[in-house]
Structure 1
Amino acid sequence: MTTSAAGQPLIPQPPATLAALRQAISRIAPAALPAFTRELDQAADQSRQGSDLAPLRRFIAQWAVYVHIQRQPHLAADLRRWEDTAESGEGPQARRAASEIGRILDAAHAAHAAVGLAAR
């Protein structure tokens, strides 16, 4: 992952389109590209089989949230730390980790929703 100056995002939040998200991931988290492609194929198959765009919409929202987090190194590091704690922790420690993970994801989803509303 490239570094940012003074805690600034590595890149601006891209629009929630397949091409923009793919390009963003290739810049900030290239190791995630195989998962992006695999999950895109699955979402496209599900959409075709059900004649429904919901799987593709979920895919785009999920990866827009991923990019929102990964483009901010401090936030991505916090998330990884809390995920590690949740995996290895017990009791109150694991519950706190789950709460913090939820807080980070909720904020990222809210930011994605706000961008979507602003684009309308």
Structure 2
Amino acid sequence: MPALTPEALRTAVASLTPSRLPAFVQDLVEATTSAQQTQSLAPLRTFVHTWGVFVAIQRRPSRATRLRHLEEVVSAGTEDPTDAIAEIRRIYAEAEAEAGL
């Protein structure tokens, strides 16, 4: 797991999911702007949390694939989503723990 800094996370995103790099940069710009406007570090903390969890999930392709499948199950609305939602929560909790959040 990379350090929870914008540069380390950017490198990880570029390596793991290059197609998500524009979204990463946009989120970083928005978080920085918001932090300056509000004079608060909260937007930057949220940014690091969000992208740290994303990287932790993407580092394990099988977990990322499983998460996408579960999200599709919930979105489709054709099955009871209770079990899928519970598993999504577990995946996010594991990723947060791995990221040290």
TM-score range, shorter chain: over 0.9
Gaps of 5+ in 1: 1-12
TM-score, scaled relative to structure 2: 0.93
Match of 2:41 in 1: 53
Runs of 4+ in 1 over 6 A off after TM superposition: none
Aligned length: 101
C-alpha contact 2:73 2:79 (8 A) present in aligned 1? no
TM-score, scaled relative to structure 1: 0.79
Give the greater-gyration-radius structure (CA): 1
Gaps of 5+ in 2: none
Deviations 1:13-42 (A, max 9, x none): 111011110011111100000110111111
C-alpha contact 2:4 2:52 (8 A) present in aligned 1? yes
Which letter maps to 1:84?
A: E
Percentage identity across aligned positions?
39
Deviations 1:48-73 (A, max 9, x none): 01111111011011101100000110
Match of 2:75 in 1: 87
Aligned match for 1:105, one of 76, 92, 96: 92
Match of 2:19 in 1: 31
Q: Which has the higher contact order (CA 8 A, sep 6+)?
A: 2
- Give, in angstroms, the shift of residue 91 of structure 1: 5.3
